């Protein structure tokens, strides 16, 4: 039986590792200090976890649009995604 495994490059491993660390950090933060649902500039009431999920989805869409619509370097989309994440987490 021949099983083809995913090739984990250092960049791929660090990407998924960072997401795992963010989720673990959010879990610890939630246990220590439970979040309060609030409304920011997003049109819905959200908690910290909701805003993290929205940020991760938005970052994925930013990267997909970047890859599909431009020929520029992907690291620029990553910088935009980090600003998006910080903005949604802080003021969303």
Whether 4 maps to a domain, the answer reads no
Find all residues with CB under 8 Å of 66, minimum gap 6, and list them. 72, 74, 76, 77, 80
Whether 70 maps to a domain, the answer reads yes
**Distance from the Cα of residue 32 to its chain's centroid:** 22
How does residue 7 score in pLDDT terms, banded at 50, 70 and 90? confident
Residue pair 39/45 in contact (Cβ under 8 Å)? The answer is: yes
Whether 2 maps to a domain, the answer reads no
Whether 20 maps to a domain, the answer reads yes
pLDDT in tens, 27-50: 999 999 998 899 988 899 999 999
Whether 33 maps to a domain, the answer reads yes
Whether 1 maps to a domain, the answer reads no
Domain, as residue range, for 45:
10-91
Whether 30 maps to a domain, the answer reads yes
How does residue 84 score in pLDDT terms, banded at 50, 70 and 90? very high
Whether 3 maps to a domain, the answer reads no
Q: How many domains does the chain divide into?
A: 1
- Beta strands (DSSP E) in the chain are none
Residue pair 89/38 in contact (Cβ under 8 Å)? The answer is: no
């Amino acid at each position: 039986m021949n099983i083809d495994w995913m090739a984990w490059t250092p960049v791929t491993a660090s990407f998924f590792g960072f997401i795992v660390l963010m989720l673990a950090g959010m879990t610890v933060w939630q246990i220590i200090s439970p979040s309060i649902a609030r409304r920011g500039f997003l049109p819905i009431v959200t908690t910290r976890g909701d805003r993290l999920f929205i940020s991760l989805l938005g970052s994925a869409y930013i990267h997909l649009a970047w890859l599909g619509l431009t020929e520029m370097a992907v690291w620029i989309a990553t910088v935009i995604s980090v600003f998006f994440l910080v903005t949604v987490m802080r003021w969303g």
